[in-house]
Amino acid sequence: MHARFAEYVTPFNDALQAPDVARLLDLSSDVGRALADNLITQQAALVAYSNDFRLLMWLTIASMPFVLILGMMHKRPYMPSRAPVHAME
């Protein structure tokens, strides 16, 4: 995700040419490039976690039928028990 986001951080990006953004995020200085890298890293981590949770959601949904099938196979028919045995007898 970091590499994909970093593709859009170029001097030709019109959003980075806006005066209020260019004042804070100057890509011609070391501080500006470090700030841009930090912002890209934060956003990439957020998207990566979101993708991980989406994958876990689909895996959970896909495994639900198997859990239900195993639950139905594991049920035993009702068998009445004998009279309870007490320890004092």
42-78, pLDDT tens digit by residue?
Answer: 999 999 999 999 999 999 999 999 988 887 776 666 6
Structure pTM?
0.64
Give dist(CA 14, CA 71) in Å, integer. 57
DSSP state of 15: H
Q: Residue 77: its pLDDT value, please?
A: 63
pLDDT tens column, 10-38: 878 888 888 888 788 888 888 888 999 99
Q: CB–CB of 48/1 below 8 Å?
A: yes
**Cα–Cα nearest to 10, from 43, 30, 36:** 36
Report CA torsion sign: 26, 11, 14, 46.
Answer: negative
